[in-house]
Structure 1
Amino acid sequence: MDPDFLNAFTQPSTPDQFLTADVIAKGEKRKLIKPTSSNNPKLEELKLFLTEWINRTLKEEHIVIKSLEEDLYDGLVLHHLLENLGSLRLDVEKIALTEKKQRKKLSVILEVVAKCLQLEENQLKWSVESILAKDLLSTLHLLVAIAKHFEPTLALPPNVQVETITIEVTSVGLKTSNAVEYITENKENIEAQSKDDAFDELFSCDPDKLDAVKKFSDGVILLLLIGQLEGYFLNLRNFFLTPASTMEMLHNVNLALELLAEGGLLNFPVNSEDIVNGDPKAIMRILYCLYSKYRTKEA
């Protein structure tokens, strides 16, 4: 069992630490932020950013929060936030003093959020119970989703990830599993998607002019280009200068991909068969890796 998990039951509790086993029902699962991530600078940056965003948004209503999970669990701040951002009128009491009323209020609020964001139940990363239990992970996911929907230009801190542990109480004891979870979008994935979109646009505009990239499909020109740019000589015994079969072409392409990966130029998976089959998009992405590194260097 993870030692961090065991330590959490003996150390003083904080909002970011685990719940004790006696509050997790048998068969229930809880996903929580591990203590090892509680002092993550990026996580702290996101928490501060969201806190200041809420305070700025609700300034005219004289609402000031200090702790996301402690100040949002009863639904009051979420109620004001949604009314302010989305001009929504929620048919619930402004102040819910009992747990029963808070649960009912949160249920209405989160149902409205799901409808606004057009999310199915299985897509939700929060629940009435998790928000009511002051779960930081769920609260962050909820606020990020609301911010992205109602203020899409808001510059949320990117690449915020945390280590999580999922706890399940079974008939034989506690079952745990660890994972890394992104709370805000991975900027590298976004940039990769943007490149994909750019390539799609390029090919739809004038696909005929891109037939020339198929000359790289046997790997020969690609290997020579890599050697020239990276400044080393490729022994002719290591590849086929005039490949006569698909197998020899695959050998050349695989060697080229290995060289790119070793040089830190390839940061996404590539199917060598796509290159050999002359897939223009696959070839262009490989060439773009080289272009990105050497475009600023003098000829």
Structure 2
Amino acid sequence: VVSTTVDPPTPHSTRDKKQNLQALQEKRHKLRKHVVFAVCVLSLVSDLHEEGKNAINAPLLPSGVDLLPEDMLLEENAERSMLDPTSREDPKFKDLQKVLIDWINNELEEDRIIVKDLEEDLYDGQVLQKLYEKLSGRKLNVAEVTQSEIGQKQKLQTVLEAVNEQLRPQGWTIEWGVDSIHSKNLVAIVFLLVALAMHFMAPIRIPEHVSVQVVVVKKREGILQTSHVTKELTTTTDMYIVVPTERDAFDTLLDHAPDKLNVVKTSLITFVNKHLNKLNLEVTELESQFADGVYLVLLMGLLEDYFVPLYNFYLTPESFEQKVHNVAFAFELMQDGGLKKPKARPEDVVNLNLKSTLRVLYNLFTNYKSSE
């Protein structure tokens, strides 16, 4: 029988074991770091390989088109459009922009507003607000100056809602929105300005048959795809050219003698009340009380001494279309009475355009001022 004995551990041997264990743990820690690094490298290589495959499979962007960071961050199935560089340099498109810029500057001359670039000067809604208020004669309830993006978009929302409310009934396709205007989408801005110029009969000559190429970027299954779309900004001469009208006495009055405006308004109010009082009606505000067309229709019946059947017009119009119908019907009665076709449009009277309303009433005054 062989007896075995185990020597009790010495302090020295215990210390060696602890050191060996610590060294082993350090090796494991380093190995773990290497493994994590290797996994990250493999993941990166895989991502790069996938991006490379996508780049090969995806259609190439047109020459000269640079994707902005926001284009690269599109959500799945989202899309963004941008003007093709070739179209941006098109002479007819540049000419259209110049015509619109000159028109805006002429309209807002009294406000000392000067537009030089449609993208940079209109995106925040400030100029669009002033332009719409000048054209429509309506005051919008918005802050005068807004620096924040939220404030600018809120102003744009208010302005565009007012614009769209007037343009939709006339058959205009809405090719603009808050995001497109605020993101300085030149095509959307031009679409909006052309529509405003046509609706309010701007005395400008707009180039016809102006089209641009738009690059549409879509994200499908993580891949950015591009395509070209043609946008027709203007069409025929008949639709898009407004012959400049001769300036009349009211242009001169409003531009150079506003102090005499109240005298003219008072005279016209006296004239219309002389006849409307027969129906126990009274006018105190020309632009607002004639805007729905009811008083115009009744006034024509009184001036021509006949009864207008109530089924021919809306006695209590509620919608924009009903008011336009009333004013247009009053214009027909004027022409039936031998008057020339009014220079103003029914829409302008409904939109509280003072100059248009004054023209209509002054035309009646000059022809019926001696009528009892």
Q: Into which bin does the TM-score normalised by the smaller protein fall?
A: 0.5 to 0.7
Q: CA deviation at 1:41?
A: 0.1
Report the equivalent of 1:5: 62
Asked whether the 8 Å contact 1:148–1:154 carries over to 2, the reply is: no
Q: Provide the residue aligned with 2:105 in structure 1.
A: 55
2:160 pairs with 1:110: yes
**Equivalent position SS for 1:118:** helix
* Alignment map for 1:28-39 (pairs within 5 Å): 28-39=78-89
2:158 is the counterpart of 1:101 = no
Aligned with 2:188 (options 138, 146, 149): 138
User: Which amino acid in 1 is paired with 2:129?
Assistant: H
Deviations, residues 176-198 of structure 1 (Å, cap 9, x unaligned): 221222111244999xxxxxxxx
The TM-score, its normalising length taken from structure 2, stands at 0.45
Cα deviation code 1:66-122 (max 9, x no counterpart): 100110000000010011111011111111110001111101110101001126999
Give 1:3 shift: 5.2
2:101 pairs with 1:44:
no
How far apart in 2 are the matches of 1:163 and 1:2? 17
Query: Unaligned regions of 5+ residues in structure 1, if any?
Result: 10-17, 191-299
- State the one-letter code of the partner of 1:178: H
For 1:188 and 1:151, locate their aligned partners in 2 and report how far apart those are by CA, in whole Å: 13
Asked if residue 175 in structure 1 is aligned to residue 232 in structure 2, the reply is no
Q: Which amino acid aligns with 1:78?
A: L
Alpha-carbon distance in 2 for matches of 1:155, 1:136: 20
Instruction: Say if 1:157 and 1:6 are closer, same or farther in 2 by CA, change over 3 A.
Output: closer
Q: Does 1:125 align with 2:175?
A: yes
Given that 2:59 and 2:225 are in contact with CA atoms closer than 8 Å, whether structure 1 keeps it comes out as no
Q: Deviations over 1:137-185 (max 9, x none)?
A: 1111011111111125532111111111211122231122212221112
Equivalent AA in structure 2 for residue 181 of structure 1: K
Distance 2:238 2:59 in 1: 30
Moved more, 176-185 or 148-157: 148-157
Q: How does 1:90-239 map to 2 (within 5 A)?
A: 90-118=140-168, 123-151=173-201, 153-187=203-237
* Aligned-partner SS, 1:8: coil
CA contact (8 A) 2:99 2:204 kept: no
Q: Check the 8 A contact 1:78/1:109 in 2, yes or no.
A: yes
Q: 1:23 to 1:56 in 2, by over 3 A?
A: farther
Counting only pairs closer than 5 Å after superposition, residues 71-82 of structure 1 correspond to structure 2 as 71-82=121-132
Q: Given the superposition, is the C-alpha separation of residues 178 and 189 from structure 1 closer, same or farther in structure 2, using an over 3 Å criterion?
A: farther
Distance 2:147 2:214 in 1: 32
Aligned to 2:72: 22
CA deviation vs aligned residue, 1:193-217 (integer Å, no higher than 9, x gap): xxxxxxxxxxxxxxxxxxxxxxxxx
**Gap runs ≥5 in structure 2:** 1-57, 241-372
Query: What is the TM-score normalised by the length of structure 1?
Result: 0.56
Shift in Å, 1:43: 0.5
Number of aligned residues? 183
- Specify the structure having the higher radius of gyration (Cα): 2
